[in-house]
Copies of this chain bind each other. A is one copy, B any other.
Amino acid sequence: MDTLPYDSRQLKHCAGDIIRNVRELAAAGWTPATSSNFSLRLDDRHVAITVSGRDKGRLVEDDIMVVDLQGQPVATSHRPSAETLLHTQLYARFAEVGCVLHTHSLNQTVASRLFAGAGHVHLEGYELLKAFTGNSTHETAIELPVLPNSQDMHTLAAQVDALLDQRCMWGYLIDGHGLYAWGRDMAEARRHLDAFEFLLGCELELRKLQR
């Protein structure tokens, strides 16, 4: 008898989707040294999320656990990532958010250090800005926020909430740390993540070339 408070077939489906995508991200080198974490919404009260400290290149079903929208483990003894709160605050705030991806690529980390003083990365004039849901032209600009890093997740979450009060956004950087990107489902979150990574790479290269 299945007395779990969520649909276990749905969890299995989500776990497969996370594993498939995270292995690609790990192969690209965006999850160095067991860093990074990933989640998918299960239902209006539960989220599937990667267990803390696992090697993202070798992810298996047992590396995915369930938390509620306050980030508390549900029906498991696994420990979720320390940064679980940064995932669940998005699911709790926006009913339409279905997927949150957090990676640590070299471009993301370097850009976060370089633009921490400015507090954001200005992205303008790229065709790929159309990859972000809501944009239909390259004649636009995005300010990708860069937050100061902290080991206190409540401090980080409060900073993110303050930003979300002001504007619509699909991601942010944390200084010296990496990128959070999200979307309504895995495909949209991946598209946003890939677009941020690409555009940060372009900005870094242009800065080397244009000085």
Contact = CB atoms under 8 A, between A and B. Distances in A.
A176 B209 contact: no
A205 B202 contact: no
State the majority secondary structure of interface residues on A.
helix
Contact of A209 (B34, B114, B174): B114
A156 B32 CA distance: 29
Interface stretch (A38-46, A124-132, A161-169): A124-132
Counted per complex, copies of this chain come to: 4
Interface residues of A, number: 43
Contacts of A104: 127-128, 198
A139 B177 CA distance: 12
Contacts of A34: 131, 191
A142 interface: no
Interface in A130-172: 131, 136-139, 149, 151
A159 to B, nearest CB: 15
